Amino acid sequence: MKMGVRFAHLADCHLGGWRQEELQKLNFESFQQVVSKCISEKVDFILIAGDLFDSAYPPIEILKETFAEFKKIHDACIPVYLIAGSHDFSASGKTFLDVLEKAGFCKNIENYEIIEPEKEEKEQKIKLKPVIVNNEIAVFGYAGRKSGMEVSEIKRIVFDSVYPFTIFMVHTTIEDVAGNLPIEYITKKELPLANYHAFGHIHKRFFLEEKNTIYTYPGPVFPNNFQELIDLQQGSFNLVEVNNGKVKVESILIPTKEVVFVEISLENAFTATQDIILELDKKNLKDKIVLLKLKGVLKQGKSGDINFDEIHGFVRKKGAYVFLRNISSLVLPEFEMQIETKEDENVEEKVLKEYSDKNPNEFNKFLPRLMNAFSIEKKEDEKIAIFENRLLDELKEILNLKEVVK
């Protein structure tokens, strides 16, 4: 490569994802900080590796504010290349990413054709076509799908040609970051070879360089749920410099409000309110994101006996920016789970296999993904109707149903 190129790689903005106004505001302010940094650094282009929005049809106010930020980027003459993620992807192919593109603010670079198999081959190939940047860099893209459906498709991807420097932007999970998550993933060997793999989807900062090939997740622009606020504290993105074929990646953290996490184990719900307030009073909560997690087995009373209104009022008087609580680990004795240490980790797979063997039918192929779908949890402060619609969309996608008769 004859000349140096600098670009930003971000993913998982999830604009409009938080239901709490204060956190939605911080989420968008983090995105604004990324935009300002890209403009001040005069990057040559910006990559957004999926989930710009939290849904294919975000709220109108989020759209208006997002368009204003993209106009700033456009006025600075910085091209934006993006793909859809598992959240802002739509099976119909119609999302508000199209509106941004038609306004001239970005380009959705997913572009491919299906190649029929040769005689010795069994599957169709997916041939990607790139966007060429600075006459030397080929940027390929492939969107995320619901329920990890893109994984099997990525295994069939080939590039249309060989280029001096190749970027593959894709919204998926690789084995190295999957950990114990019950999700579909792909191995690095199953990916088409590129100089820089610009990933999105997994909300963690990850960097790996092997054989002059880079695999990296920049992390979300802002934490997207209660646990991510604990683990990540703040958002991030990558600032990348390519010079003479060598790549330098810098992870840029995005400043935001400080997080104060308080975890309390309880046994008595009747005295819990004052116990919690006493613990919170030990902390400086002014202008902080305050996270309260309650756990334990209640031997006296129940969670409804805890006066959360009083606790919330106390936190507000202490000047906290926002207060979130999580009581999912607080249980009554009769609901306490007794987990066997030698429990078979593959028990679900065995049960499914036994059922399928005894009841052979076409529907069985859907069972593993349906079980994963029903394990989806309601997000912190997510409205029940929104959660139900999200689950229903997931089930319709799995079963290939365009509409459900009520």
C-beta separation of 70 from 46 below 8 A:
no
Say whether 235 sits in a helix, a strand or coil. strand
Is pTM beyond 0.75? Reply is yes
Residue 141 has a CB neighbour count (10 Å cut-off) of 28
3-state secondary structure of 123: coil
Residues 6+ apart with CB under 8 A from 102: none
Spatial contact of 64 and 98, defined as CB atoms under 8 Å apart: no
Calpha distance 356→351 (Å, rounded): 9
Distance CA 387, CA 197 (A): 32
Give pLDDT tens digits along the chain (406 positions).
Answer: 556 899 999 999 999 999 999 999 999 999 999 999 999 999 999 999 999 999 888 889 999 999 999 999 999 999 999 999 998 877 666 778 999 999 999 999 999 999 888 777 778 899 999 999 988 899 999 999 887 889 999 999 999 999 999 999 999 999 999 988 788 899 999 999 999 999 999 999 999 999 889 999 999 999 999 999 999 999 999 999 999 889 999 999 999 999 999 999 999 999 999 999 999 999 999 999 999 999 999 999 999 999 999 999 999 999 999 999 999 999 888 655 443 434 444 555 666 666 667 667 766 666 666 666 666 665 555 556 666 667 776 766 666 654 433 3
Other residues' Cβ atoms within 10 Å of the Cβ of residue 142: 24
Report the DSSP pairing between strands 137-142 and 131-133.
antiparallel
With beta carbons less than 8 A apart as the criterion, state whether 8 and 237 touch.
yes
* pLDDT of amino acid 360: 74
- The DSSP secondary-structure symbol of 404 reads -
**DSSP SS3 for 337:** coil
Q: Where are the alpha helices (DSSP H) in 290-376?
A: 308-317, 347-358, 367-374
Q: What is the CATH number of domain 5-254?
A: 3.60.21.10
Cβ 48 vs Cβ 80: under 8 Å: yes
Provide the pLDDT for residue 128: 97
299: its two tokens = 């031997």
Residue with tokens 């065995």: 350
The full set of domain ranges for the chain reads 5-254, 259-335, 349-399
Q: What is the Cα–Cα distance from 383 to 19, expressed in whole angstroms?
A: 8
pLDDT given for residue 378 in this prediction: 55
- 169 with 141: CB under 8 angstroms? yes
> Contacts by 388-393 with C-beta closer than 8 Å and gap 24+?
393/146
- Return the SS3 of 369: helix
